[in-house]
Structure 1
Amino acid sequence: MICFTLSANTLDGMSAQVDRYHGCFDMLELRLDLLSQEERDKLLQSAGAPAWLGEAPLILTFRRQSDGGAWNGEDAPRLKYVLSLVESHAASLVREGSSVFIDLEDDVVAIAAGREVAAAAARHGVQIIRSRHDFEGTPDDPAAVIGELASCGGPGEIPKLAVQVRGSRDLVRLIKAADAVRGGADCGTGSGTGSGAGAERSAGRVILVGMGPYGFPSRVLSPRIGSFLSYGSDPGEGRGHVAPGQIDPRSMAEVYRCRTQGPHTEVFGIIGNPVLHSRSPAFHNAEFDRQGRDAVYVPFPTDDIEAFRELMTLLDIRGLSVTIPHKEMVAGWFTSNADKGSSCSPEVSAVGACNTVTRDSGGNLVGANTDVAGFLEPLLRRVPDLHSRGVTVLGAGGAARAVVYGLLSAGARVLVLNRNQDRAALLADEYAHLGQISSGALSPDSLSLMATHNDIIVQTTSVGMAPDVDSDPISFYDFTGTEVLYEIIYAPPKTKLLSRAEDAGCSVIGGEEMFLTQAKLQAQLFAQTANI
């Protein structure tokens, strides 16, 4: 269920938000703390109530600054206002058949005014969300915290835990908590955290939110992991997104299909760091939609590859794209023989980098590399014969390995430049048996080497990638206009380096072409898992 948080600072502004995202949400959250007192007073007047109040289930939230809101006063006047709203509009909305909720923090149960609001809500059929927000990190046992929230208030309250997810291991703990709360049912093959007994007291609806980039998957997988709802907000109105990691409700509905997911929805994804800029979710989710497949593709910012392996098991992830900086480490899953039953394509072994992972009929991992073909096909459309062409490759990471392998296989002469010259030399030594290859430092010292390898320049580093859009990895090089510049970055679509080459009259290839080519190849591999 998608809950659209209204973040404008006027009721008219909130009305505009409702209109703008009409049809993309299932519930509305009215953030009272973002309104001025004058605007809040309008709500208490029958003539001032906006028309959309009864159009969808409604959450009334008056958030304190300490919990990520705007209210910086005492609790008593805040709760007194909420009580007035319950006695007026909320009660009438319930009588008219609408569902109304109030978000109350767990610590206000100890305050008389907080208990008074809860009692009034019970009298009028208004439901309570009992919330706790932790912006410092994820607790060791989130399921136990959910159990505390479920037991601190009255019966039927919905516990909500929103925590800052600071890395992949925090996300693992949060997903395990979701598993434990649901008794381990229908959540991959996870076994929970052992805290299910405390969580069982919250049987039924529970809201789990992972804040920040690393918590993003919990937001767009909320139906899959059993969270009652997930919040979205408007990035361009009022204070914009009201919590770290939120996206707009249209993206939630149309890209991630949050309204159609269920406990058996297949999970695919992309790992990298950073990765939230990736266009892969839009591409692959559109493919699943076209196929009519109950599957979703999600970005997983990943800082700990072994923690992510655990997450793959918990969520039973069926397929994976791999990007910077994890391609070589993931290749190790297959080339180290550590995973019995796993297998990989010849390109993964030859390149030492893996950008695609799927599962076979036995659930074993299968590695592939679509970067080689994804890189070569657009280049061969411009330069049909690469034999003896001099090519400079910038970078020596996982993407560069696929590029160098493809170029040498096509007969090109290759120069690898990297800020860490030793790493460039190692790559050159490793691939020396495939053809003519040399190495150097990614600095002005290598200009003479580039002069004999400048038919084509291929940029494989992360320099220039959003948000580092003002950087140029070879600012010291002056284009002559005869080069072909191949930039594999696609966000932004035109980097500073690509623009400079284009201005000099060079033929340029943007990362979009490589992205689409390799993504189509990945989509074919993902489609093969549909009948497994």
Structure 2
Amino acid sequence: MTLTTSFYNWGTPSDVGDGENVRRNSTLICVPIMAKTVDKMLVEVRKAKQEGADMVELRLDYLNSINPCDLQVLLEHSCLSTLVTIRPTWEGGDYKGDEGVRQSALRKAMELGADYIDVELKVADEFFESIDGRENTKTAIIVSSHNYINTPSVEEIGDLVARIQATGADIVKIATTAIDIVDNSRILQLLTYSQIPMIGIVMGEKGLMSRILSAKYGGFLTFATLEDRGSISAPGQPTTKDLLELYNFRQVGADTKVHGVLGNPISHSKSPHLYNVAFKSVGFNGIYLPLLVDSVSDFLRTYSSPDFVGYSYTIPHKMAGLECCDEVDPIAKAIGAISCMIKRPFDGKLIGYNIDYMGAIAAIEEGLLQGTSNGSSTKGSPFDGKLMVVIGAGGAGKALAYGGKSKGARIVITDSIIEKAVDLASKVGGKVINIAELDDFAPEEGMILANATPIGMQPDIDNMPISKKALKHYSLVFDAIYTPKITKLLREAQKSGATIVYGTEMFINQAFIQFEKFTGLPGEYQEINRFLLELQRNL
């Protein structure tokens, strides 16, 4: 399926503002307010305004009780546009009371001047029949359908849209659940072609892209939660701060280029924090998303639009990414894995690169030089002649083994799957040891250890791939993990007297190269450098 771009604008005008603050879309940010009392609701409404929301959804189903006086107070004192919702338990909400009372409260909200109300499709016909004319109300009626199990086919969702429109709805709302990240495409496609205002949301972590890209494809609004509130109204809901500051939501437009990092898991990735700020700093019209992908080939086949242009690859997709390339850089082909993919603009071919080895090897070389007595450089590479033990024979391990070998190191590979280690060792001319032998492996002192596994990554921060006693044989220890910055492996290696090299060093080094490939712009901008250094300190 190829997604195209919608040019419908249902809300405030796009292209409003000046300079880098230009607003390129009309999609509204709506914050659900789910407090149990009127006073707390009004406090949260004010917070929503402070955080930059356009409107609030007053979730009256969460109030301890609903009465006309409280509703009047909420509507009169709200400092933002209001959407009144009383979601029943049978549609995923918290209201357990009488249906007649619920619909009566929605009619009262219209009478009191609510900007919008939400009525579920199941009772929409009944509700519209109960309204005695709509000439004297300014309230727009959203008719909604929520699917907490999956995302139906395009045809089924299309039929659903038609049914909602037939009720007389002013705005269509459809919320589904992502089983796979490709499910988002069906909702985004409907947003593109909708002839009336539409809210299209895919719930769950795999549905995050739908909430952000609704701005690109013409969605009427998207939902976001308050920064310091733990509760959300639907799975996968981002914060207002993330939408505005991390994803530059106001600057996403119909022509915005989409980039992202493909991985599983992916919530730990700091790449969106880096590239979105870097894009904004140079005025590049692009967005960078965390993409929780199960199948690389399915993802690339689904999001084949020319606007989906560049990806980073992380665990476990570096090798699968290579298999999906139309062309592969010779170095990446030798390694057998990619870390970066670019869609070539003139023919749409997918070109794969491996940038990890450059970032990692440069960082380790710097650490080896610092570990010498005077810190001065020696003739050739500091890797030359050293024994380098690489734990893990996946994409990152291949990059490290290839890079170390190219610099003159002798390579030893270990992996929990011995066949993978044997295969990699044969390609780089290295040796293999069983992972069970790793703790007692000490043929010489002053070895280099490189961890290329996720052992020790959040939330598994109390584990390490090698015992404490074995660390005394290594002069330098590198961990490709960068969340947390100081892993248990690095902490124990430092105690043993080894020089340690953070995964953030690799992350920062390869970022400059990848930024250039994404944007076509040189990466030595002062602002980008400042941000990368700041990120390194904070990770």
TM over 0.5: same fold? yes
Of the structure 1 ranges 503-512 and 277-286, higher mean CA displacement relative to structure 2 is found in 503-512
Of the structure 1 ranges 416-425 and 361-370, higher mean CA displacement relative to structure 2 is found in 361-370
Deviation (angstroms), 1:348: 1.0
Cα gap change, 1:117 to 1:290, in 2 (>3 Å): farther
Deviation (angstroms), 1:503: 3.8
Residue matched to 1:366: 351
Answer whether contact 1:389 1:412 (CA < 8 A) is retained.
yes
User: Matched residues, percent identical?
Assistant: 29
Cα gap change, 1:264 to 1:475, in 2 (>3 Å): same
Which residue identity does 2:29 align to in structure 1?
I
Which residue identity does 1:172 align to in structure 2?
S
Deviation (angstroms), 1:277: 2.3
- Structure 1 regions of 5+ residues with no counterpart? 91-99, 183-201
Answer whether contact 2:259 2:286 (CA < 8 A) is retained.
yes
Q: Distance in 1 between matches of 2:227 and 2:482?
A: 23
Residue matched to 2:63: 35
Residue matched to 2:471: 479
Of the structure 1 ranges 408-417 and 481-490, higher mean CA displacement relative to structure 2 is found in 481-490
Q: Distance in 2 between matches of 1:298 and 1:122?
A: 44
Which residue identity does 2:383 align to in structure 1?
L
Which residue identity does 1:424 align to in structure 2?
A
Deviation (angstroms), 1:80: 2.0
Residue 346 of structure 1: which of 330, 339, 349 is its match? 330
Cα gap change, 1:66 to 1:391, in 2 (>3 Å): farther
Residue 171 of structure 1: which of 170, 177, 184 is its match? 184
Answer whether contact 1:357 1:367 (CA < 8 A) is retained.
yes
Pairing 1:7–2:34 present: yes
Structure 1 vs Structure 2 CA RMSD: 2.4
Answer whether contact 1:392 1:458 (CA < 8 A) is retained.
yes
Q: Distance in 1 between matches of 2:160 and 2:260?
A: 27
The 5-angstrom pairing of residues 214-293 of structure 1 reads 214-234=206-226, 236-237=228-229, 240-293=231-284
Which residue identity does 1:379 align to in structure 2?
I
Answer whether contact 2:314 2:339 (CA < 8 A) is retained.
yes
Q: Distance in 1 between matches of 2:57 and 2:419?
A: 55
Deviations 1:224-272 (A, max 9, x none): 12211111012632x5122111110111011112222121111111111
TM-score, with length taken from structure 1: 0.84
Residue 140 of structure 2: which of 112, 127, 135 is its match? 127
Cα gap change, 1:120 to 1:277, in 2 (>3 Å): farther
Residue matched to 2:434: 441
The 5-angstrom pairing of residues 254-333 of structure 1 reads 254-314=245-305, 316-333=307-324
Which residue identity does 1:3 align to in structure 2?
C
TM-score, with length taken from structure 2: 0.83
Residue matched to 2:12: none
Answer whether contact 1:415 1:450 (CA < 8 A) is retained.
no
Deviations 1:132-176 (A, max 9, x none): 00011011225414423433311x521111000101342333334
Deviations 1:94-120 (A, max 9, x none): xxxxxx111111011243xx2366557
Cα gap change, 1:14 to 1:121, in 2 (>3 Å): farther
Of the structure 1 ranges 502-511 and 370-379, higher mean CA displacement relative to structure 2 is found in 502-511
Pairing 1:24–2:16 present: no
Cα gap change, 1:80 to 1:500, in 2 (>3 Å): farther
Deviation (angstroms), 1:299: 1.5
Residue 495 of structure 1: which of 484, 487, 492 is its match? 487
Cα gap change, 1:177 to 1:509, in 2 (>3 Å): same
Deviation (angstroms), 1:425: 0.9
Answer whether contact 2:216 2:252 (CA < 8 A) is retained.
yes
Deviation (angstroms), 1:486: 1.1
Answer whether contact 2:284 2:519 (CA < 8 A) is retained.
no
Deviation (angstroms), 1:344: 2.9
Q: Distance in 1 between matches of 2:121 and 2:35?
A: 26
Cα gap change, 1:390 to 1:119, in 2 (>3 Å): farther
Secondary structure at the aligned position of 1:483 is classed as strand
Answer whether contact 2:458 2:483 (CA < 8 A) is retained.
yes
Secondary structure at the aligned position of 1:225 is classed as coil
The 5-angstrom pairing of residues 507-522 of structure 1 reads 507-522=499-514
Answer whether contact 2:188 2:200 (CA < 8 A) is retained.
no
- How many residue pairs get aligned? The number is 480
Residue 360 of structure 2: which of 366, 375, 378 is its match? 375
Q: Distance in 2 between matches of 1:293 and 1:118?
A: 49
Q: Distance in 2 between matches of 1:169 and 1:208?
A: 15
Residue 426 of structure 1: which of 419, 423, 426 is its match? 423
Answer whether contact 1:137 1:166 (CA < 8 A) is retained.
yes
